[in-house]
Amino acid sequence: MSLFTFIKDLGTIRKALMISCILFVAGIVIGWIGTTSLEKLLLQQLEGLSEISSNLKESSNPMLSFFIFIFLNNSIKGVVIIFLGAFFGIIPALFLLINGAVIGYLVHTSSLHGQDIFNLIVKGLLPHGIIEIPAIIIACAYGLHFGSKVASRIFRPSVRGIKREAEWPVFMRQTLTASIWIVILLFIAAIIESTITFSLLS
């Protein structure tokens, strides 16, 4: 469960990590170039968050309310997305594309409206995103790897059967270690987002 073990385990899912990064960047590009065509879909995502944000700002302690919401929302999704990857990795892939698209859409829309993109990224995204985004990418990578293992088990059951069966307990231990450290990273990111980012954007 140590940090060293967590980092070491990442080496076993290098391909999935690379695919996760590609999907996330692809989502950003899709959100940027498809600002008009995707506007209705992405606005639905953002309107829900905007309504929640307004309610949290009206609470007696906005920073604490933001922290609790951000941490619970991100950590639950971060852990659940690993195990939803069992469905052939489809859900983690969509999660990366949609979240990347939201960022691409927001940045592009802001630039079209003449807003300072540098400040938006540095103040609104970078302080917490430098921790939150890698944590989510890692969670989705484990989800993709989970999906790959399930697909391999179903469609290629005879290939390295005994060795593959022995790999499952190791992988499940890795997902447990990853879940713990992803929650820790998202806890730190939530503190930063609900304090530093909140103050900068206010």
Task: Spell out the per-residue pLDDT of the chain, length 202, in tens.
Answer: 788 899 999 999 999 999 999 999 999 999 888 777 777 777 776 777 777 887 888 888 888 999 999 999 999 999 999 999 999 999 999 999 999 998 998 888 888 887 878 888 888 888 899 999 999 999 999 999 999 999 988 887 665 555 566 678 899 999 999 999 999 999 999 999 989 887 877 6
Position 160 scores a pLDDT of 57
Helices then strands, counting H and E runs in the chain, come out as: 9, 0
DSSP conformation class of 187: H
Position 166 scores a pLDDT of 64
DSSP conformation class of 37: T
- The DSSP-derived string for 44-87 is HHHHHHHHHHHHHHTSSSHHHHHHHHHHHHHHHHHHHHHHHTTT
Position 141 scores a pLDDT of 98
Provide the residue count of the chain: 202
Position 12 scores a pLDDT of 93
Position 152 scores a pLDDT of 85
Q: Which residue's entry shows tokens 């540098």?
A: 118
Position 157 scores a pLDDT of 64
Position 137 scores a pLDDT of 97
Domain boundaries, the chain: 7-201
Number of Cβ within a 10 Å radius of residue 58: 9
